[in-house]
Amino acid sequence: MTGHGATQGDDLATVRTLAEMFGLSLREEHLGEVAAGWRLMQPHLTRVRQVELAEDEEPAAFFRP
């Protein structure tokens, strides 16, 4: 579980799992910091996912105005 309502323990577990899946090497003593960073991202992750976009709305990768 992660995001709104998740406990610190949940976030630590999520970070451990994701790091393992993505092959990211993390030191145990930094897990708390990463979990705090992860918590900070959650409202933004939720918000961005909820945005309704038209099918032809292209990504702005290597954005040029």
CB 34 within 8 Å of CB 2: no
CB 31 within 8 Å of CB 55: no
Going by the DSSP 8-state scheme, the letter that residue 44 receives in this structure is H
Q: Which of 1, 8, 9, 36 binds other proteins (CB under 8 A)?
A: 36
Other CB atoms within 10 A of residue 8 CB: 11
- Residue 7 lies near other proteins (rule: CB under 8 A): no
Q: Which of 5, 7, 28, 60 binds other proteins (CB under 8 A)?
A: 60
Per CB under 8 A, residues contacting other proteins are 15, 18-19, 22, 24-27, 30, 32-38, 40-41, 43-45, 47-49, 51, 53, 57-65
